[in-house]
Every structure is written in structure tokens, then in C-alpha cells.
Amino acid sequence: MKIPLESLRSCLDGAVPAVVSTCSPDGIPNVAYASQVHYVDAAHVALSFQFFSKTRENVLAHPYAQVQVIEPGSFRHFRLRVRYLRTETAGPLFEYMKAQLAGIAAQTGMDKVFVLRGADVYQVLDIENVDPHLPAAPPRPDALLGLRRTLDQLGTCDDLAVLADRALAALTHGFGIRHAQLAMLDETGNALYTLASLGYPASGVGAEVALGEGLIGVAARERIPVRINHRTGDYTYHAALRVADPATPRIALPVLTDAHSQIAVPVVDGECLLGVLYAESEHDAFFGHADEDALQIYGRHLGALVSRIAALPDEESAALPLPRTQPRGTPLAVRYFAHDHSVFVDNGYLIKGVAGSILWTLLNEHLASGRRDFCNRELRRDPRLPLPDLSDNLETRLILLQRRLAERCPQIALEKTGRGRFRLNIDRPLALQSA
Amino acid sequence: MSVLLSPEQIAFLQGPLSMNVGAVGRDGWPCVSRAQGIVVARDRRTLTVLLSSVRSRAVLDALDAGSAITLVASRPATHATLQLKAARAERVAVTAAHRAASARCVAGFGAELAALGYGDDLATALAALLPTDDLTGLRFVPEVVFDQTPGPQAGRVLARA
């Protein structure tokens, strides 16, 4: 019976090194260890091209090879007859393999040696089970069942903040994931910021990652899921990465200091990238191929839900007016830096960018008119917010601002009073200063 | 002509290794099979490599048909790797000493992997996967020895006949 390549995906995670047998045009065989044999699709694998080796010289001249892979758990061997097709040096496949190689390299202590030059794509022509008498490795937990449990737990909701938190908490129920975050693409499309997190001492809400940096940034830029099965010392793939401009104030990204498994999947609605769902574990090989499939579907589901909530109309009825309250105590010193819209409260960094600009506008409006009730619609039209089209992003920025205030400056709070409506609650007098 | 293996190379070849034998079939396809033991002769020039007859059918057929042979041996803990090549190999009768050498080699390989975190039950699984009652011995005289340790120097010739 023909063995489908899909059934060998667990052999193609780099857990046990594979070997590649090639031959020169004059018939001299060569066998080399392959640090990475990557599942591309049902008919193709890709091997990492790291050095100009005899293997490479051989396949360029005589494109036929045999690859021997090993199933973790059972140690069953499989041999793949393959034909070299092409080398990719950029794009999603290359980026995925580069990220995964960083994990394999660190796990095998070869961090300084393994650098991906290209992804050599091979067509798989035949698969031989070398050990048909041996039982297969015990199956991993059913990822489809995990996805169903996650979706059952997620349920439905019309509130983006609730959705963000629930989307992460549901992962624990479905997949046993205990550390995760949801990062949203910002309005420039060049960076992502953490909107919600699960299982970290500090929430890290508002932390930024540049597009293309770290696992989150690579998953966003390439719009592909990226999974690393081993701890990596390669800083490029540590999720805790520098922000685009190191001189600007930053919020630390919530990540484990010693993650052994990481996965990032794009959150998309159709063709539109909205963000990245990232999860990690202290255990090696925590996420399998099937988990990657399931979480990729989950990312699409979340994307559709986020878009649906964003499209809901704001509530028309205004919140009941409140009597003016008199904030008491020492004034809060709020400083605003217009060049990056950053806001500092009592010299402590609070927020920047769109959320900073919104806060500054609200506080000034409040001081000028005493208003505390606002709606999203007016913010979208407010000329004091010199920002690009906010229509898709405003709600997530307000959630971000609300959470940063709750964590860093509880004397100022944003209270949701309806869909598209919120109230500013201030306990202390304000001393606003624009730098 | 043949290569005189150094004492270090001989010691290495008798350590806890992952080893594979490659050949080229009559149809021009390269093939590979896991080996499960190496015995170095007293002359320091001749090797006998031990393979499962059933698991290595394609490689053995290729060698019977006159293919050149390559043997790659790698130490999992250090990634130190040697590749030895020769124009031909011949089958030899498997002796009790060969079986003992194979059992030692497989056990050493399993212990090495267990120490690297591949699981304590791996040694048992390997012994079941690579038994000594199905061995074929291949004798060959390496004509070139390469350093195949991963890195830009991989492929460097260490000795040539």
C-alpha cells in the first residue's frame, strides 16, 4: 500500500536527524546528515541548504536522492525516493525553515553553525517503510478535538475585549496551552502590539514587535504559521524582541524566558491580516503538525470574529449623564510628547502612538468641558487625532488603552458604557503638560 | 591503495555512533541503510560494517552489483562525523565476534541517545529494531576518509590512498 507523505509528518520535525544519500555523476555514493527535512505538501519535502556540500553538488548534477527519516517514539525508519526540483532563498517556505532551523540548531548545540542559505525542494516519488513489523508511535492528542473544545469554550460574544481574553483562555481548555498572547497589526502595518496575554506575570499589553522580527513578526509578514519545537538561542526567533526604534520607550513583550516550543499563527479575515496568535510552552515538541493545522484554523476563526465585532454599529443611546465629581488629592502630572504621541504619568511611561494620542485628546476635552462620556464615532472624526484611518483599529486601541491604564494608572479609567461608547473616570486632579 | 586509519579514527569508529551505509543501485538511484556495528581489522586498513540483511536489501543488492560504498558514522553527543568511501565492498561471513560488536555498538548508541534526552526506553527499542540475528557483514578498504562534522569544513579530506 502506498504510504502518504502526510502520515510521516512527525518524522519531519527534526526530532531525530535524517540522512540523505546522493551520488555523483560517476556513481560515487555520498551520505550526509540532514538537520531539517520539512514537509511542504502531500508530494514535496524541503531540505535545508546550509553549506555548499557534496550533497548539494551531487543533486545539482544528478537530481535523485534517497532520504531516510525516523519516527520519534517508535524509531521506525522510512526511506523517501526524492527528486531535486529547485532552491528557494526567500518567501514563506524559506522563512519557516529558517525559524525552525534556529530551534533545531539550538537543540543540537549547533547555533553558530547552522545558517539557512536556501530551502531545497524535492518531489517525493516513493516511500518505503523499513520497519513494517514495528507498531507506530502512540498518537498525539487529537488536535481536531482540541480545536472543537476550544471553539466550544470560546462561544460567541460581541465585545472585542472579552473575545481577546476568552480566545486565549479557551486554548488552555482545548490544547493545554498555558502561555499565549494575541498581537494585533497596527495601523501602519509595520508592527504588532499585544492586546491580550495569558499566563505571564506581567500582561505586556501594548508591547510591540516589528513586522518580520521574531516568530510573531515572521508569521505576520509571511502570513504563515511558524512553529519551533525546541528552545532556540537565536535571538532573532526569541519572541521578546526590540521594538522598531530602540530609543523609544517600550513595554516588555510577555514571553517565557526559556520557551522550548513556540508557535505563531496569523489571525486573518479573508486576505486581511489582523494580527498573530502566539503560544509557547516550557516543554520540547509541545506543538505538533496537527496542532499547527488546528491553530491556523483557529486564527482564521478569530479573524472572522474580530471583523464581525468591528463591523457592529455603535449604540445610539447616550449613557446617562453623571453629576460632576470632584477629583481629590495630589494632581497627576500627565506629559505628552507629540512626536510619537507618548504619554507619561508622574514620569512613568504609559502608552504611545494611537492610544497615547486618544488619551491626550480625551483628557484635554475633559479638562476643557468636563465631559466624561465619549463615543467611538466622534473619535474617528476628531481632527486632533492626526492619524490614519482608524475605523478598523480604534476599538482595539481603546482596549489597549483601557488595559494599560488599569495596570499603570488606575486613577484614570476608561469604562465601557455600551457598544462604541465609553466613560472617562478620573480620581485625581490632572496637570497636563505637552512637551 | 588503502588508507591507514589513525588510532583516533579507530577509537572513534568503535564508539557510540549513528552509522549509515550508502550505495548506488543498478538503476542509478542512491540508497542508504542504517548500519549497526563496525569492526576495524588489525591492519588498520580494513573495515567490516554490519547491517541488517532484511532492512538493507537495496544497499546490499547495489553492492553485490558492484557499487562503490560509503559509510558515514556520527557521534550524537558531539556531531563529530567521518565518511569513508571505497570503490567496492564484499560480503563476509558473520561471526560471533561480529554479533557481539554489533550488540555493543547498538547499546552504546542507545545509551548516548538516552543521555541526550531521547528517552530511557530508546535503548530497548533500538535493540529490538536492530537485532544481531539478521546481520550481513561487508568488508571494505577505505580509499578516502572525510571529515563530515557539520560546518563549513564538512567534506575536508582527512586521508586519501
Examine the domain organization and report whether A110 and A11 are in the same domain: yes
pLDDT tens sequence across B105-157: 999 998 888 888 777 777 788 888 888 999 999 999 999 999 998 877 888 99
Rounded Cα–Cα distance for residues A314 and B120 (Å): 60
A123 lies within 8 A of chain B by CB: no
A window 92-121, beta carbon within 8 A of B? 108-110, 113-114
Residues A161 and A184: beta-carbon distance below 8 Å: no
| Domain hosting residue A78, numbered range | 5-129
- Write down the pLDDT at residue A241: 43
Residue A138 lies in a domain: no
Residues A273 and A306: beta-carbon distance below 8 Å: no
Chain A nearest-CA distance from B31, in A, is: 6
Q: Is A125 strand, coil or helix?
A: strand
Q: Identify the residue whose cell numbers are 492586546.
A: A195
User: Could you give the angle at the alpha carbon of A100 between the alpha carbons of A19 and A58, nearest 5°?
Assistant: 35
pLDDT tens sequence across A116-157: 889 999 999 999 999 998 889 888 899 999 999 999 999 888
What does the pLDDT average to over A331-354? Answer: 93
- Residue A231: which pLDDT band, with cuts at 50, 70 and 90? low
Examine the domain organization and report whether A289 and A402 are in the same domain: no
Percentage of chain A lying above the pLDDT 70 cut: 89
Contact flag A131-B129 (C-beta cutoff 8 Å)? yes
Distances (CA, A) of B16 to A214, B7, B75, B102, B143: 37, 16, 6, 11, 23
- Write down the pLDDT at residue A72: 84
- Write down the pLDDT at residue A106: 56
Mean pLDDT of chain B: 93
**Architecture of the domain spanning B7-141:** Roll (2.30)
Residue A319 lies in a domain: no
Contact flag B150-A35 (C-beta cutoff 8 Å)? yes
Residue B117: list chain A partners with CB under 8 A: 284
Rounded Cα–Cα distance for residues A211 and B135 (Å): 55
Question: b/e map of A374-411 (b: 16 or more CB within 10 Å)?
Answer: bbbeebeebeebebeebebbbbbbbbbbbbbbeebbeb
- Write down the pLDDT at residue A176: 97
What does the pLDDT average to over A25-44? Answer: 93
Rounded Cα–Cα distance for residues A235 and A102 (Å): 9
Examine the domain organization and report whether A212 and A240 are in the same domain: yes
- Write down the pLDDT at residue A113: 61
Residues 6+ positions from B159 with CB-CB distance below 8 Å: B3, B4, B5, B6, B144, B145
Examine the domain organization and report whether A304 and A172 are in the same domain: yes
Examine the domain organization and report whether A169 and A119 are in the same domain: no
pLDDT tens sequence across A177-226: 999 999 999 888 899 999 999 999 999 999 999 998 888 998 999 899 99
Residues A372 and A423: beta-carbon distance below 8 Å: yes
What does the pLDDT average to over A256-282? Answer: 93
Domain end, chosen from A104, A129, A154, is at A129
**DSSP assignment, residue B23?**
E
- Write down the pLDDT at residue A247: 57
Contact flag B68-A113 (C-beta cutoff 8 Å)? no
What does the pLDDT average to over A328-339? Answer: 93
Q: Please give the ipTM for the structure prediction.
A: 0.95
Percentage of chain B lying above the pLDDT 90 cut: 77
What sign has the CA pseudo-torsion B51, B56, B58, B64? positive
What does the pLDDT average to over A275-286? Answer: 93
Which chain B residue has its CA at the smallest distance from A54's CA? B155
What does the pLDDT average to over A8-13? Answer: 90
Q: Is A196 strand, coil or helix?
A: strand
Examine the domain organization and report whether A237 and A339 are in the same domain: no
Total domains in the fold of chain A:
3
